[in-house]
């Protein structure tokens, strides 16, 4: 068994990653395997009991979680006034995306960045903010081409057309939306960077760049080298085996995220949440266990979209 342990720092509130190999967009069938014995586990699901002054926004940042994943995991809890003594779920465990486990994986579907250091160091995952409607982050493979501490921001023509009062150059400092650190990708105009508006982490509010909490980008900046490969995917549903148990993890669709932020509820779920891509994902990942997966749990997981891994089958059928 391959196990990735936590090495996140206490000021981050703990590492965020979790369970296993996986997939969720339409990858080649050969990329998926029913492997019941090999697991890649980083982090674990946790819980937290709130104090009277807490908001879910505060709790999310203290535990290196994004705002949307925090409220998706805690339906019915008021994000601004959860109340003293409320036990909330910390979704600090995630199935790894189905992509090469090297360099950086940016998964728009779960609003997280996964970094695989060289050598035996375990991977790290942190929440990200990504592009809002009309400012989509591109998918595909690229690499890190440049890094800059205290970057200068040059707003592009499209941004200036939307915000004509912006200066042509924004120098380093508290008013710079890139924050203290910027990592430039091979996709022209796209960066992984900090932010002076941390409330946007875990949400789709940027102009397509990838924003991180200031403390997360500071921790990663020296670890990520120029030339590091970068893979950007959009996998909202992931599946994988962990110690002989098959897990499924589903995150909200963009329209559901908007409803979640506006109303605290996901809105209407699809009549049949198991589309062809998800069915193929489950079939190939389950392998021989496909005949005894729990379809009730699968439908519930895909309807609730809590972003937490849910066990849907064992390697051997139940004796019941």
**Active site amino acids:** 193, 209
| 186 vs 188: CA distance, rounded Å | 6
> Vertex 44, ends 36 and 256: CA angle to 5°?
95
Cα torsion 144, 146, 147, 152 to 10°: value is -130
| Nearest Cα to Cα of residue 136 among 158, 154, 153 | 158
Three-class HEC string of the chain: CEECCCCCCHHHCCCCCCCCCCCCCCCCHHHCCCCCCCCEECECCEEEECCCCCCHHHHHHHCCCCHHHHHHCCCCCCCCCCCCCCEEEECCECCCCCCCCCEEEEECCCCEEEEECCCCCCCEEEECEEECCCCCCCCEEEEEEEEEECCCECCCHHHHHHCCCCCCCECCCCCCCCCCEEEEECCCCCEEECCCCHHHCCCEEECCCEECCHHHHHHHHCCCCCCCEEEEECCCEEEEEECCEEEEEECCCHHHHHHHHHHCCCCCCCCCCCCHHHHHHHHHHHHHHHHHCCHHHHHHHHHHCCCCCEEEEECCCCCC
| 175 vs 166: CA distance, rounded Å | 11
């Amino acid at each position: 068994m391959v196990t990735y342990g936590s090495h996140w720092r206490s000021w981050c509130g703990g590492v965020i990653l979790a369970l296993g190999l996986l997939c969720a967009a339409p990858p080649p069938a050969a990329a998926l395997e029913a492997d019941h014995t090999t697991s890649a586990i980083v982090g674990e699901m946790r819980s937290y009991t709130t104090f009277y002054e807490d908001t879910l926004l505060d709790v999310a940042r203290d535990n290196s979680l994004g705002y949307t994943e925090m409220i998706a995991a805690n339906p019915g809890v008021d994000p601004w006034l959860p109340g003293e003594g409320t036990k909330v779920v910390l979704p600090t465990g995630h199935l790894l995306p189905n992509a090469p486990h090297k360099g950086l994986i940016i998964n728009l579907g779960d609003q997280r960045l996964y970094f695989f250091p060289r050598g035996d160091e375990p991977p790290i995952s942190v929440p990200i903010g990504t592009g809002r409607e009309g400012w989509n982050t591109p998918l595909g493979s690229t690499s890190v081409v440049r890094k800059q501490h205290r970057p200068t921001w040059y707003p592009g023509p499209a941004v200036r057309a939307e915000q004509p009062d912006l200066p042509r150059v924004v120098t380093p400092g508290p008013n710079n939306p890139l924050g203290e650190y910027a990592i430039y990708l091979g996709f022209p105009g796209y960066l992984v960077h900090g932010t002076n508006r941390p409330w946007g982490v875990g949400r789709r509010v940027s102009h397509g760049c990838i924003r991180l909490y200031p403390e997360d980008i500071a921790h990663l900046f020296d670890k990520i080298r120029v030339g590091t490969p970068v893979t950007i995917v959009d996998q909202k549903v992931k599946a994988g085996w962990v110690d002989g148990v098959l897990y499924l993890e589903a995150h909200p669709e963009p329209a559901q995220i908007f409803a979640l932020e506006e109303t605290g509820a996901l809105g209407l779920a699809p009549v049949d949440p198991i589309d062809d891509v998800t069915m193929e994902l489950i079939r190939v990942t389950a392998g021989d266990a496909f005949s005894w997966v729990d379809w009730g749990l699968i439908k519930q997981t895909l309807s609730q979209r809590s972003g937490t891994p849910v066990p849907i089958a064992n390697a051997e059928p139940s004796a019941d």
